[in-house]
Amino acid sequence: MLRVQKTIYVAMSGGVDSSVAAALLKNLPVLPTGQAGGRQDGKFNVIGVFMKPWQPSIHESQNTNQKFKNVAGNMLHDTCLWKQDREDALRAATVLNVPLLTWDFSKEYKKCVTDYMLREYKAGRTPNPDVMCNKEIKFGLFFKKAMKEGADYIATGHYARIAQVQKLKVHKDSNIIKNKDPKELDKLDELYKLFTARDSAKDQTYFLWTLTQKHLAKTLFPIGDYLKPEVRKMAKKFGSMLHRPAEHEKFFKKLHQAEIRQNFGFKRQRIGKA
């Protein structure tokens, strides 16, 4: 019997978590236990995807105030940070012998994440850019494009887990449940639920609350069953190129802070007594 190889598009940022996620899928003959899709025979067709995010150009950084340049400008003089990240992702993909695609979502990232964050602050609300990035970019643009390209699943380096459960379809008559009518018990409907990661300190399910059944049924979180120290250990085992710290995440946090300072500055105000 001919076995159809499953294709999985893995979001690879160049960091350790997404690299190990790709490594696990590349080296495992079956899908992680309890994850969407069940067990499948044979190796997977793993394809890495680097999503180009937005960041200010050198020209933009040189025209902002000094506070902004101190955070971002000095990191952009020689090369764009996203290119460094892509090189890290490419090295990891080379070690794993998987192809790496580059999809440019920079305009969408600027609009859906950075601009959203600034609007929320201006409105006096606290934004959550991580939630918006997952909703609009990773499980929006990336998910849709991967499915269009023929992916059976997508995978990311999130610390979370997905479990497949079964929902029984029965009539309102409780006797059907008591008598366990075989005809009714056969009417099972697949349902996918999001569960916290094994590593509670690294759990990211809070940032994934917008995922729907459509996403959960087609998504894999390979590192959700591992602790962070175990992920680092696996990175060294799979290849020396995989255990590079995810410095880009620290940069973008600083970049968001710089954007806030650039747009709002700081205001001194006396806190009133309650």
pLDDT per position as a tens digit, 21-76: 999 998 754 445 445 444 443 478 999 999 998 876 644 544 444 434 444 444 44
State the amino acid at position 38 in one-letter form: G
Q: Report the pLDDT value the prediction gives residue 114, as an integer from 0 to 100.
A: 87
Flag the least confident range among 41-50, 173-182, 193-202, 215-224: 173-182
Flag the least confident range among 32-46, 92-106, 149-163, 174-188: 174-188
160-196 as b/e: b if 16+ CB within 10 A: bbbeeeeeeeeeeeeeeeeeeeeebeeeeeeebebee
**CA 262/CA 150 separation, integer angstroms:** 42
For 3, phi then psi, to 5°, come to -95, 130
- First-last CA distance in the chain: 75
For 102, phi then psi, to 5°, come to -120, 120
Q: Span 247-269, mean pLDDT?
A: 56
Residue 85 confidence class, pLDDT cut points 50, 70, 90:
confident
| Contact between residue 58 and residue 68 where contact means Cβ atoms under 8 Å apart | no
Q: Report the pLDDT value the prediction gives residue 33, as an integer from 0 to 100.
A: 47
Q: Residue 149 pLDDT more than 70?
A: yes
User: Which ranges of the chain does DSSP label H, i.e. alpha helix?
Assistant: 16-27, 58-62, 66-71, 81-96, 106-109, 115-122, 129-132, 143-148, 175-179, 182-185, 213-216, 228-238, 247-264
Under CATH, domain 7-161+195-264 is a member of which superfamily? HUPs (3.40.50.620)
Could you tell me the two tokens for 229?
A: 């120290």
Residue 240 confidence class, pLDDT cut points 50, 70, 90:
low
For the chain, what are the domain ranges?
7-161+195-264
* CA angle at 66 for the pair 62 and 71, rounded to the nearest 5°: 85
Query: Residue 196: which of 231, 159, 232 has the closest Cα?
Result: 159
- Helical (H) or strand (E) element with 191: strand 188-196
Partner residues linked to 166 by β-bridges: 190
**CA 64/CA 259 separation, integer angstroms:** 10
Q: Span 216-233, mean pLDDT?
A: 96
